[in-house]
Amino acid sequence: MENLLKRMWRVSLVGAISSVGCASPQATETPDRCGQGASIDTTSDVCFCDPGFHGDPEFGCVEHDDLCAEAEVRQQHTVCAHTVDDAAQWTRLSIGGGPGIAGVRRLGKYLVPASPDSRLPTVFSDANSYRLHYCLMSSGFAPLFPGLTTADHARLILTKAGREFYAGAVYELQREEPPLFGFAIETAPRAEEMLSTAEVYSVYRHLADRFEPGELGYLPRGTMQQAVAASWPKAPFTVLSIDDTDVAFEAYTPGIAYGRVRANPSGESGDFSWQDIVVFDDVPVAWEGVMAAAVTGQRQDILSHLNVLSAQRGTPNIFVDDALAVFEQFEGELVRIEAAPNNYKLRLATQQEADDFWREQRPSATVENPAEFGYLELDAFASIPTATLEERRAARSRFGAKTVGLATLSQLIDPNYQTPGFGVPFHYYEAFMADNVWTADVAGGPQTLSYAETVTAWLAEEEFRSNAALRKERLSSLRDEMRARGVVSPELVDAMRATIVAEFGAETVMVRVRSSSNAEDTPTFNGAGLYDSTSACAADVLANANAETSVCDANKSPRTLERALAKVWASLWNYGAFEERDYFQLDHASIAMGATVSLRFEGETANSVAFTGSPINSKQTSFTVNAQYGEVDVVSPTPGVTAELSLLTLDAGEVTEIERALVSSLVPVGEVVVSDVHLRELGGLMAALQQTYPLDADAGSEPLLDLEFKVTSDDALIIKQIRTFLPAPYSSDPTCR
């Protein structure tokens, strides 16, 4: 099938296949048919927003600001352009084609809005700075996409259900004058995600209206897109193809890797790890996680998502014709692959060879404060000693980083800004792991083991350490067991109930039980988002766990302390957390989970993340404050929902200027989430902490302070978390950092 498709689509680059010979879009002003700022397309009889406008073309498009120019000021380098007006500008925005597609002279990237409420109009990114759409969104337009994850990004551009943008590349093809350009569109590699001619034409119109260097044609990528395009009886745009039938191998990121060969014909992220050499049929358009090396059966380009990630990690990435068949005989085998510019070598490898290589090549972080299990007290934040480095280290070994951050904060700021709370030390996690037993799946068959013995046995097994699918399955079964049947010490629950009454005034107050491990919040291992937190009510007891509502909150089901502790403790063995720690070579045996218990705030008017600088641009000196109305998440917002962004300029510890860089989409026009009064109050507080909060490790550069705060229902500013954060220096290499 693949060879047949190649023959069907083989054309010379001096010409192109065209279904209808439509050389350029046809549009005329028709005020009665389209809204203001829009024009009718006579080919499709569909309205499109004119260049410089964005919105709903049926009801009226709005003239948009030069968002690329605004981003350039913010980032201090070129980010994008809304139009490409001539060949010189195209050359500035694009990069040389390099290996990957025969006959490509230069290539760049674009985003096209898929709906009227998309957060950006059409943009052509500066590929010299942003080689991934994810980087353009998460870094270049960070205020619009706060906390964007790779999974969020994939949903926004690859699937019809979640698509906010069409995303792809523009290619300048090598041929004689006049110049010819092709555009590709990224989609998830599934039949139901393939685009119709109308969808492709919409992208074509958005691009062609704003791209002047030459004629544009559609260039389907991968066997599925090519098969769909081949089935169209006609299309209102030029369809292009490039002859690559004689190319059998290309190296995009040369290098050496050890790993087990794993076939992945679907191209979907799955049970793969940094110990796997993953073999694809087509080129995956999105990928989460780390792999030892990538082999694709379709040719790539140097701006492919896969190659950018491979290049920034230095892991080999190659094209091999008919890759799945070529590598089939090595499925599951541990091999050494060496990718050179013109060839590759593959041989079986020993476990010792691989272990030695992995140990040298992977990033290395240390557990700076190994867990200490002898401490039993449930200490309030203010009573935990943190004045000296030795005291903070001892506290982290007992309680974990999150508790110690708030304990340190309690000594430095006015109590009115603090959240009350206390820490549950590691001792109780260790007891929970040692006292509970189950039937564990281990080498040699099922055995009755404690949770702790289970983890020790797994860590000693070669198959567990080398097989990501097995690892994921076993860790999931352990977490399910811990949450469903793990017995929490009744003495601990009684002590927590008494401490909650002492700290918060009553056992009917809902509290927040948050993870606090000794493997997070360090300069070498941030660990943000790896572990779980949950709410709890001391008045909800196991005897009434089947009640319909919580004693603390009639809108919630019962939230027992036992349930909360088991969930938080179990999250230490989240698959993603294990993989991240393992990749950084952290010693799992030295890690434990404590709990931070603090007040759960109700009816807050704002929640926010703030930095004493910029988390994505180390050159920025103003403080960054991202805030959202009420309880709506700032870090992972719903698509189309934007958070308020404020930049604070300070002098001598006082805010001298407030720049409202972005307004929240959830408040009425003219209103703000965080008032000027609170921003000035917060800025002064952050400036004071910048001078007094201790930095215990040499991180190689000056870390920022990362704070989370809320504005409560009674208009009080409360700091709920603090940690250090290493800012990302701007770089033009293919990373977001």
State the Cα–Cα distance between residues 676 and 575, nearest whole angstrom: 42
Angle at 77 between CA 74 and CA 81, to 5 degrees: 90
Q: What is the per-residue pLDDT for 11? A: 28
Q: In 3-state terms, what secondary structure has residue 317?
A: strand
The CATH code of the domain at 606-725 is 3.30.470.20
Highest mean pLDDT among 34-38, 253-257, 436-440, 587-591: 436-440
Tokens representing 619 are: 């050159």
- Stretch 34-57: mean pLDDT: 93
Q: Look-up: residue for tokens 């048919």?
A: 33
Angle at CA of residue 708, ends 696 and 142, nearest 5°: 100
Q: What is the band of 675 on the pLDDT scale with cuts at 50, 70, 90?
A: very high
- The secondary structure of 413-459 as a DSSP string is S-GGGBPPEEEE-HHHHHHHHHH-EEEEEETTEEEEEEHHHHHHHHH
Number of neighbours of residue 587 by Cβ within 10 angstroms:
13
Q: Quick check: 735 pLDDT over 60?
A: no
Question: Partners of 166 in the beta sheet?
Answer: 112
Please tell me which of 17-31, 130-144, 309-323 the model is most confident about, judged by mean pLDDT: 130-144
> Cα angle vertex 190, ends 98, 327, to 5°?
60
CB atoms within 10 A of CB 242: 21
Total number of residues shown for the chain: 737
User: Check: CATH 3.50.30.10 for 249-361?
Assistant: yes
CA distance 143 to 148: 10
What pLDDT, on the 0 to 100 scale, is given for residue 327? 94
Is the per-residue pLDDT at 732 higher than 70? no
Residue with the two structure tokens 């109930």: 497
Determine the residue type at 724. Answer: T
User: Which residue carries 């604070």 as its tokens?
Assistant: 648
Identify the CA nearest to 165 among candidates 185, 193, 146, 142.
185
Count Cα atoms within 13 angstroms, Cβ side, for 579: 22
Least Cα distance to 517 among 398, 407, 386, 360 occurs for 398
CB 331 within 8 A of CB 263: yes
Give the residue extent of every domain in the chain.
2-239, 249-361, 381-430+486-599, 437-483, 606-725
Q: Return the amino acid letter for 260.
A: R
Distance CA 17, CA 219 (A): 11
Give residue for tokens 């004071």: 688
DSSP 13: T
Residues 194-226 have pLDDT tens digits of: 999 999 999 999 999 999 999 999 999 878 899
State which of 227-241, 439-453, 508-522, 687-701 shows the largest mean pLDDT: 439-453
Distance CA 728, CA 730 (A): 6
The radius of gyration computed from the CA coordinates of the chain, to the nearest angstrom, equals 28
CA distance 704 to 233: 58
CA 563, CA 595: separation in Å to the nearest integer? 13
Using DSSP, state whether 125 is helix, strand or coil.
strand
d(CA 295, CA 259): 12
The angle at the Cα of 23, spanning 21 to 29, to the nearest 5 degrees, equals 120
Beta strands (DSSP E) in 42-84 are 46-49, 53-56, 60-63, 80-81
What confidence tier does 639 reach under pLDDT thresholds 50, 70, 90? Answer: very low
The pLDDT of residue 442 is above 80: yes
Per-residue pLDDT at 593 exceeds 80: yes
Question: Could you count the other beta carbons within 10 Å of the beta carbon of residue 439?
Answer: 11
Helix axes 468-485, 575-583, angle to 10 degrees: 130
Question: Token pair of 30, please?
Answer: 């028709």
Which residues, 6 or more positions from 336, have their beta carbon under 8 angstroms from its beta carbon? Answer: 256, 257, 258, 345, 346, 347, 348, 349, 353, 354
From CA 670, how far away is CA 673, in angstroms rounded? 10
Residue 632 has a pLDDT of 72
Residues near 354 by beta carbon (within 8 Å), at least 6 away in sequence: 258, 259, 275, 334, 336
User: What is the C-alpha to C-alpha distance for residues 155 and 637, in angstroms, rounded to an integer?
Assistant: 13
pLDDT averaged over the chain? Answer: 85
702: pLDDT strictly greater than 80: no
Planar angle of CA 224, 228, 229, nearest 5 degrees: 115
pLDDT in tens, 63-105: 999 999 999 988 888 999 999 999 999 988 988 755 555 577 8
3-state SS of 366-413 is CCCCCCCCCCCCCCEHHHCCCCCHHHHHHHHHHHCHHHHHHHHHHCCC
Positive or negative: CA dihedral 385, 387, 391, 395: positive
Residue 609 has φ and ψ, to the nearest 5°, of -120, 135
Q: Mean per-residue pLDDT for 559-585? A: 91
Given a cut of 90, is residue 305 above it in pLDDT?
no
Cα–Cα distance for residue pair 615/701, rounded to 1 Å: 13
Which residues does 149 contact at the CB level (< 8 Å), separation at least 6? 636
**pLDDT higher than threshold 90 for residue 724:** no
Statement: residue 476 has pLDDT above 70: yes
For the entire predicted model, the pTM comes to 0.64
- Beta carbons within 10 angstroms of residue 320's beta carbon: 20
Residue 584: predicted pLDDT: 82
C-alpha to C-alpha distance for 418 and 668, rounded to whole angstroms: 30
Written out in words, the top-level CATH class of the domain with range 381-430+486-599 is alpha beta
